[in-house]
């Protein structure tokens, strides 16, 4: 598979997701027109490297509803054999694992890795794969196996780069692809300048930069297959747990006034760990690196009320500069270091008391 084609497909996926998120929130008429035009151009861009025609891809993209984050799949591994399947949007993670174990498969829930489809060089829509070690005994449980994910995991399960920020964008493209990139760049440059919504300004400016630098001259390559384009899975996000002895850093949210672990929704194009790094910087001003994965849990199983972000990966992080202190941002009005007993005495954002205590306990939720 051509590296240029692969990166072009990833960029189209990223643009598609940015549009879906922009349309999810209220937008004025001008921004709505810009976002819809950008979605069509994302389909046109993918059509320059994909087997399906532009009309089919536009139809697929037009079906998007709500936030679009990286998809999520579950994989069970035993030796060199893996079985992977997408997690359906209406299924809870804990329920699915319980059901798989009810068929006799022992799943080691503490031996979990979040494997990124980009690191596996897959052209499919960006997917986080929750890879569990399992003992299937005599037979594997009944599950809708995704052969493409399963085969690639078996070959490259050790391929993960935790602190990598963002997707690698195309550098050398065909003339056909360059023509579409130029259109996207022009549209987003104008939109970033004229939009009155700060979130959309950021969105358009990011995509303007993403389409600004590339070389033209790549020879036409065999077209790729980006797989199923309308898979519905739970939304994904990450949180960054920064510890100081027996205390964890919490931020006081500017919207609710409640205390929470820094974090938020993942963006298509970034790794799960990179989400934790970005959210920590945006919400606290702190620059961190990821040490390890603490756990992945389903917010729908630990929160009392509805939640926009379903699957959360909690990453243990370390300050790049140990002398750095958090600073107030648009997302946070205050910060504090709390031990397990102090957490009981403050007003915590839904689900975060449970998660903060699980981190401080040092075990899995």
Tokens 């996207």 appear where? 184
Q: CA 263 to CA 320: how far, in whole Å? A: 18
The predicted pLDDT at position 286 comes to 98
The predicted pLDDT at position 114 comes to 93
Cα 260-264-270 angle, rounded to 5 deg: 145
The full length of the chain comes to 365
Those residues of the chain that have pLDDT short of 70 are 1, 136-142, 154-168, 363-365
The predicted pLDDT at position 176 comes to 93
Cβ(85)–Cβ(74) under 8 Å? yes
Among the listed residues 357, 361, 236, 365, the one whose alpha carbon sits nearest the alpha carbon of residue 295: 365
Domain locations along the chain: 3-67+166-216, 71-156, 236-361
Among the listed residues 26, 31, 20, 18, the one whose alpha carbon sits nearest the alpha carbon of residue 190: 31
- Please compute, for residue 281, the number of CA atoms within 13 A of its CA located in the half-sphere on the CB side: 13
CATH number for the domain whose boundaries are 236-361 = 3.90.79.10
Q: CA 124 to CA 287: how far, in whole Å? A: 31
The predicted pLDDT at position 351 comes to 96
The predicted pLDDT at position 155 comes to 62
Among the listed residues 331, 38, 67, 330, the one whose alpha carbon sits nearest the alpha carbon of residue 204: 38
- Its pTM stands at 0.93
- Please compute, for residue 31, the number of CA atoms within 13 A of its CA located in the half-sphere on the CB side: 24
Tell me the two tokens of residue 62.
């037009």
Q: Strand 311-319 and strand 236-244: pairing?
A: parallel
pLDDT tens sequence across 138-180: 556 667 778 888 888 766 655 455 545 555 677 789 999 999 9
Q: CA 97 to CA 337: how far, in whole Å? A: 34
Q: CA 253 to CA 9: how far, in whole Å? A: 36
pLDDT tens sequence across 47-82: 999 999 999 999 999 999 999 999 999 999 887 788
């Amino acid at each position: 598979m051509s590296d240029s084609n692969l990166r072009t497909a990833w960029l189209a996926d990223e643009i598609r997701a940015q549009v879906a998120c922009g349309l999810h929130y209220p937008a004025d008429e001008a921004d709505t027109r810009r976002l819809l035009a950008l979605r069509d151009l994302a389909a046109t861009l993918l059509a320059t490297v994909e087997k399906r025609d532009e009309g089919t891809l536009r139809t697929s993209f037009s079906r998007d509803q709500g936030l679009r984050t990286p998809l999520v799949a579950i994989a069970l591994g035993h030796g060199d054999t893996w079985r992977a399947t997408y997690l359906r949007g209406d299924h809870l993670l804990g329920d699915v694992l319980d059901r798989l174990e009810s068929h006799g498969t022992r799943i080691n829930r503490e031996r979990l890795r979040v494997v990124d489809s980009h690191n596996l060089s897959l052209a499919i829509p960006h997917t986080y794969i929750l890879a569990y070690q399992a003992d299937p005994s005599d037979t594997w449980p009944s599950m809708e196996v995704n052969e493409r994910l399963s085969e690639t995991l078996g070959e490259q399960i050790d391929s993960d780069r935790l602190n990598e920020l963002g997707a690698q964008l195309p550098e050398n493209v065909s003339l056909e692809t360059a023509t579409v990139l130029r259109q996207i760049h022009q549209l987003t440059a104008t939109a970033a300048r004229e939009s009155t919504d700060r979130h959309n300004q950021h969105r358009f400016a990011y995509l303007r930069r993403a389409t600004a630098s590339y070389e033209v001259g790549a020879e036409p390559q065999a077209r790729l297959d980006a797989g199923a384009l309308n898979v519905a899975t739970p939304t994904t996000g990450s949180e960054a747990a920064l510890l100081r002895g027996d205390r964890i850093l919490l931020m006081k949210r500017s919207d609710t006034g409640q205390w929470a672990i820094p974090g938020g929704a993942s963006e298509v194009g970034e790794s799960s760990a990179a989400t934790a790094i970005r959210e920590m910087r945006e919400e606290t001003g702190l620059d961190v690196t990821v040490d390890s994965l603490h756990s992945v849990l389903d917010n729908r199983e630990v929160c009392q009320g509805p939640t926009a972000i379903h699957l959360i990966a909690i990453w243990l992080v370390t300050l790049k500069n140990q002398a750095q202190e958090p600073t107030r941002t648009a997302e946070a009005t205050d910060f504090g270091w709390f031990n397990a007993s102090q957490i009981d005495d403050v007003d915590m954002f839904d689900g975060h008391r449970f998660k903060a205590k699980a981190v401080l306990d040092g075990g899995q939720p």
